[in-house]
Chains A and B, each alone.
Chain A
């Protein structure tokens, strides 16, 4: 097998018999790796700059033939797919090791090709994006049926991500569609120009050429594991190259050396502690008098951003990304989600943030209104603290008083 197998294989159809090793091992893997499992992460304290062990370029095909890999996007921006391509020459290794049976952004492979495959014949499916419409749900269910392992790749697949903020729109999908197709300036111009045409896309319509359908938009954006069974999670918006390397390394070790895969449900590439542990900034635990936006501050490169009045979610977000954002003076927005001890990321953040406001001299005598005034310096707390984890929140949808 040549080193440049990736591109030739991208477009080549192969009907290879499923190799025995990957087929048998995943079932055994979680049990075998159980000893090291504490529900936490593998690669607990990885130095992001170290080369990935065992990750040798140009491995060629494993014994027993290539594994099958599918990469799919659901409700996503495409950044996760780009992050896979961003892995530079490592992506060639992926091509050498695996037949990419589906990757809408970069390779061929259609829904019907997947449908024709036998159940469980795809070794790994990396699925990025949240589940937001009927098509997303159909495709992820199909890939689950055909795959041995499903990886929720990126924050949207893991926690709902930014698309899940749409859950806070009171009118649900109807209001979203109405806004996009009737209210935005460009849509308005269209509506005025064609007043007698339907403006909002129809899920079903009969035209002279036949019956056309579109997927239904859901009222609630769901994370991947709220729809299908998920084996591994790779958080990040997008996941870092190091994390992808760790994932691929685990797959390589498994395919070539028969090393057991990490236990099911593992979040790959995360540490056990919060981002503050790996952030190089010096923390003085100052009290916050006022919340500032990064552009309003001449940011000191060595001091904690929170100490400088910038809302940073690092105190309640799990580490593993190498503090890429805080290193360059941008606050953590929480894309890695909570630590494994916490279910409610947003609540965890604002517990920490609220405690940073100083106790005032008038505190023993003032009323709660005064405190609300102080806390109002945080704009849009729900949107800010739940920016990536809305689907996983205890209350994952906006509510309407008097609606019962």
Chain B
């Protein structure tokens, strides 16, 4: 599986993680290019349906990045998000997915390096897990 290049969907909250990603870019930190960023206003804006849709369309991994706890622009959005994501991980596990395919991480606006580190680690995790187990057209 050496030549497997995972496709990863990354949801970044507008106030912290997206700025963090910007910071990583400005600082020219090197990282794999397997991820696509979708900017949302808050990590709590990420509906579980968005994540399930990403997986159903063949994403190998989904990452949700938000403000650190107690740091949410909307006071408590990330607390809601982490509960939802915890439940979603349980659901994915019941489907048979490895729950590591869904990652929730806190990246603040000043943490370009953490953004880079998180991406690198997640890409490694997904490379180790292999392509999505979803099989198309299995009737």
Which of B80, B82, B88 lies at the interface centre, i.e. has the most chain A CB atoms within 10 A of its CB? B82
Chain A 366-404 against B: per-residue CB contact (8 Å), 1 yes, 0 no? 101001101110101111010000000111011111111
Of all chain A residues, the one with the shortest Cβ separation from B94 is: A382
- Give Cα A279 to B97, complex, Å: 36
Docked CA distance A354–B104 (Å): 16
Please name all residues of chain A whose beta carbon is closer than 8 Å to the beta carbon of B133 when the two chains form the complex.
Answer: 399-404
CA–CA, A152 to B31, complex, Å?
Answer: 51
Cβ A399 vs Cβ B84 within 8 A: no
- Whether B90 is near chain A, meaning CB under 8 Å from some CB there, is yes
Q: CB within 8 A of A376: which of B49, B90, B95? A: B90
In the complex the two chains form, is B90's CB within 8 Å of A381's CB?
yes
- Which residues A340-359 have CB closer than 8 A to chain B? 342-344, 346-348, 350-351, 353-355, 357, 359
Closest chain A residue, CB of each to CB of B69: A364
Q: Whose C-beta in chain B lies nearest to the C-beta of A366? A: B69
Inter-chain contact B90/A375, CB cutoff 8 Å? yes
Contact of B56 among A218, A395, A404 (CB under 8 A): A395
Which residues from B are CB-within-8-Å of A404? 130-131, 133, 135
Interface string of B38-61 (1 = CB under 8 A from A): 000000000111001101100000
Interface residues on A, range: 35 or more
Q: Is A363 engaged at the interface, CB distance under 8 Å to the other chain?
A: yes
Q: At the interface, yes or no: B87 with Cβ under 8 Å from chain A?
A: yes
Chain B residues positioned under 8 Å from A401 (CB to CB): 96-98, 129-130, 133
Say how far A263's CB is from chain B's closest CB, in angstroms.
26
Chain A residues with CB under 8 Å of B104's CB are 368
Q: State how many residues of chain B have any CB contact under 8 Å with chain A.
A: 36
Determine if B91 is an interface residue (Cβ-Cβ < 8 Å). yes
A121 contacts across to B, CB distance below 8 A: none
Contact A399–B139 (Cβ < 8 Å):
no
B36 sits at the interface (CB 8 A): no
A366 to B36, CA, bound (A): 29
Q: Point out the residue from A219, A344, A366, A397 that lies within 8 Å of B49, measured CB to CB.
A: A344
Q: Which residue in chain B gives the minimum CB-CB distance to A346? A: B91
Q: A382-B91, A400-B133 are in contact. Are A170 and B84 (CB under 8 A)?
A: no
Task: Please judge, given known A-B contacts A220-B138, A394-B56, A399-B133, whether A357 and B95 are in contact too, CB under 8 Å.
Answer: no
Give min CB distance, A357 to chain B, whole Å: 5
Q: Give bound CA distance, A385 to B48, whole Å.
A: 13
Taking a contact as CB atoms closer than 8 A, the residue among B52, B86, B131 that contacts A344 in the complex is B52
For residue B117, CB closer than 8 A to chain A, the reply is no
A325 to B104, CA, bound (A): 37
Encode contact with B along A16-34: 1 for CB under 8 Å, 0 otherwise: 0000000000000000000
Contact in complex: A351, B82 (CB < 8 Å): no
Note all chain B residues with C-beta closer than 8 A to A375.
83, 86-87, 90
CA distance A263 to B79 in the complex (A): 43
Determine whether A142 belongs to the interface, using a CB cutoff of 8 Å to chain B: no
Residues of A within 8 A of B (CB): 168, 170, 218-220, 342-344, 346-348, 350-351, 353-355, 357, 359, 363-366, 368, 371-372, 374-376, 378, 380-383, 385, 393-395, 397-404
Cross-chain pairs A/B with CB under 8 angstroms, 20 sampled: A168-B94, A219-B138, A342-B49, A343-B49, A344-B48, A347-B49, A351-B48, A353-B87, A366-B69, A372-B86, A375-B90, A381-B94, A395-B55, A395-B56, A395-B95, A399-B97, A399-B132, A399-B135, A402-B133, A403-B133
Given contacts A350-B48, A364-B69, A404-B133, 6 further A-B contacts (CB under 8 A): A351-B49, A354-B86, A355-B83, A368-B82, A374-B83, A375-B90
8 cross-chain pairs, A with B, having the tightest CB-CB distances, nearest first: A364-B70, A382-B94, A399-B133, A347-B48, A394-B56, A347-B49, A354-B83, A354-B84
